[in-house]
Amino acid sequence: MLKKQPSKIATGLFVLGAVALVVIGFSILSSVRIFTKHPVFVMYFEGSVKGLSVGAPVVFRGVKIGTVTDISLRFEPDSASVHIPVLVELDPGSITSPKKKINPGKYIETLTTQGLKAQLKLQNLITGQLIIELDFHPEKPVKLVNSDTRYPEIPTIASSLEEFTNTLVQLPLDELITKLLSAVEGIDHAVNSPELGESLKTMNQTIKDLQQLIKGIEEKIDPLASGIQITVSDAQKFVRNFDKQISTLQSDIDLAAKAAHDAMLQAEKTFGSIENITSGDSALIYQLTRTLEELSAAARSIRAWTDYLERHPEALIRGKSGSEGR
């Protein structure tokens, strides 16, 4: 029985359909890239770009904004120099503004005038892969190649590793090594010299003597410290007793002052009373004056009667006659 051969037309249609599906899928996936313009910039790094490959990310402070698209070697016959231009393509969707639509290419060109520079950074320590990081370094000088490339140039600065390497290269290593070897030889000579052994012995004996001296001082200081402690304790007791006596004396002084104050007030009252009694218009003084006058008159009468009796004692019996009274 003969097998039926597949139709060539059907096979061709199947292949064409598959190709059409691939083209349609590719178009859908890359529609954004087809209809969106991706700005391209060129960078020239001074050192080696080993570890940087096509597809490496371009980041701005940790945010990916582009990709490395080409790394080449360019020879300049006029200046006999070799440059390594690195082309990067920025993603327009990674740079946005809330107020207005911006052109990423023009925006990056504006930032380069404000100190934006590119620098190689280590992405993976094990594999040594590098990335390109954009950031502001206004303190670093701007170095541009200014080649005839049609792409705008972003200035670059050396990586941290390159700066460290350049610092090491500028060091006078031969002179430093010579001085280091000389210092090591001097240390070895000093350590192995007999003078050092004698010095160590002398130092050991000095340390022992110092320990004995410190021990003797401690033995003398302990009794002195005990006496000082007792003296301080007695002084504290004296101060406490003195404080108590001062408090008692202060109380006595306060009582005496109060008593003196009360006596002064009583004396002022007494002096006031006396002053009132002895004043010229006092009633007591008036009565006292009248009484004294009456007593004086009575005394004169008694004196006159006494004189009369001395002359006429019989008057006690007969009484005083009228003629005698005249």
Q: Sketch the domain layout of the chain as residue ranges.
A: 35-159, 206-275, 283-318
SS3 state of residue 152: coil
Alpha helices in the chain, H assignment, sequence order? 8-29, 31-35, 104-112, 160-170, 173-192, 194-277, 283-311, 315-318, 322-325
- In residues, how long is the chain? 326
Q: Pairing mode, if any, of strands 130-136 and 40-44?
A: unpaired
* Predicted local distance difference test score (pLDDT) of residue 242: 61
Closest CA to 55 of 28, 23, 78, 86: 86
Distances (CA, A) of 133 to 52, 111, 116, 176, 193: 12, 14, 10, 36, 58
Strand partners, 20: none
Position 108 pLDDT exceeds 90 = no
Distances (CA, A) of 77 to 73, 74, 80, 147, 149: 13, 10, 5, 13, 15
Can you list the positions of beta strands (E) in 47-145? Answer: 57-60, 63-71, 74-76, 81-83, 85-90, 116-122, 130-136
Overall average pLDDT of the 132-160 stretch: 86
* Predicted local distance difference test score (pLDDT) of residue 88: 95
What pLDDT digit, counting tens, does each position of 266-312 carry?
Answer: 766 765 665 565 555 566 667 777 777 778 777 777 877 777 767 76
Overall average pLDDT of the 170-185 stretch: 75
SS3 state of residue 116: strand
Overall average pLDDT of the 27-31 stretch: 51
Closest CA to 107 of 120, 91, 87, 119: 91
What pLDDT digit, counting tens, does each position of 254-275 carry?
Answer: 777 777 677 677 766 765 665 5
With a threshold of 0.85, does the pTM exceed it? no
User: In the structure, what pLDDT confidence band is assigned to residue 250 with cuts at 50, 70 and 90?
Assistant: low
Q: Which amino acid is at 99?
A: K
SS3 state of residue 117: strand
* Predicted local distance difference test score (pLDDT) of residue 284: 63
Q: Which of 60-64, 92-96, 123-127, 169-173 has the lowest mean pLDDT?
A: 169-173
* Predicted local distance difference test score (pLDDT) of residue 1: 47
Mean pLDDT of the chain: 76
